[in-house]
Structure 1
């Protein structure tokens, strides 16, 4: 037991040294991907929504492959699950509201 306790600082420093490059990579992508949209992004967002609406009207969704359809279905299920989790957190109950 004493040997294990004596190795804790050495293991902690090794863990910190190993985790530092991964954390720096995470922070690099987090600064870009997790930042809210700026006013300069609004025209791009509008154009993307316009392309989505026109693709839906033209029937381009019929030309998706099975793989793309499966991935889109999984993304839709994920969004619904996160919505449900958010509702449960907001209600503070799994079923119904506490009146």
Structure 2
């Protein structure tokens, strides 16, 4: 097991990449926390997991699919547009959603 130490300079570089401004106390705190986290990962890397099957999904949940079928009783385009406040070329006009 190797002793990995994350220095305050390394934390400062990470903070800069994340556009974070950290105080000296925060740099010291995160340096210790990153070092402790890497120590835990180093311990986990020593475990023999050769007999453990790979797991990609642990909840047992799966996607549920259903056939796309035409709904009975759907409205025609004319019926939809008759109550629309603003319409243009057969479409409903709304306020913009995205800024340009």
TM-score, normalised via structure 2 length:
0.27
Higher relative contact order, chain-length normalized (CA < 8 Å, sep 6+): 2
Pick the structure with greater CA Rg. 2
**Between structures 1 and 2, the one with greater helix share:** 1
TM-score, normalised via structure 1 length:
0.27
